[in-house]
Structure 1
């Protein structure tokens, strides 16, 4: 689908490209609204919950951070079992950077994740390409960086 979209963009003329971008943006907004309206309960993984939170909040939806309480143990700490879910921790790390004042659970998540992502990275237990994403996020999280592109995508993006 990425390749098909790239070809469509390359083939589009100036006006056509603007209309394409507008249509894609509207489709994304509609999809996000549908996700916001759908009630996702405890059946979500850390990765899915965090990604949902980040995408919705980043696009102006009023999303509560209490959805992350299901990932805490009886003592109020984040579950130790989460440390083996690197993709989930990475998504939660990015989501936690969208916290606002008073959202203690996201601040706790950030401290928990920074410790575990750093330890896992140092131990060399994360395989590429996830290790590159972790390094990038720890160096400069998604809210403070330019869009990330896969191998070779930068050249193609510049061509467009």
Structure 2
């Protein structure tokens, strides 16, 4: 039992020491390049940002993997990030591409961009009247629509009254 306790304690200390040795010396997630939107269709605009370069830093961006070439990331007021933009060429093929930003201080961060042929954005549905040539004899005027509904109601009531009389045997 005593030997098992030492083995478990020794393993726990080794794991803790390894975790401390690999922990970064700074706080925050400054090691990534955020890509928005992360999924885009060819011809779409992409914005990238990172806090890895510092509040007043700059970076050189490289989107040549997707065919967009280089772009610049400049300081912004957004959470002390550097931000840049590029346009995915219309000839881009579907796939996942690595986008790279190299800070003026030499630090390099990467992010992934997925190019698809179909948009994942919300579809826009048409609104209003569509001239199809079918129906719509009264038009969108509310007075005419109300008159049409009233005429249909009178016809339905009259038809019901006639069918009721016929069923009772009163004749027409």
> Normalising by the residue count of structure 1, what TM-score does the alignment of the two structures yield?
0.26
The structure with the larger Rg is: 2
> Normalising by the residue count of structure 2, what TM-score does the alignment of the two structures yield?
0.25
Higher helix share: 1
Higher strand share: 2
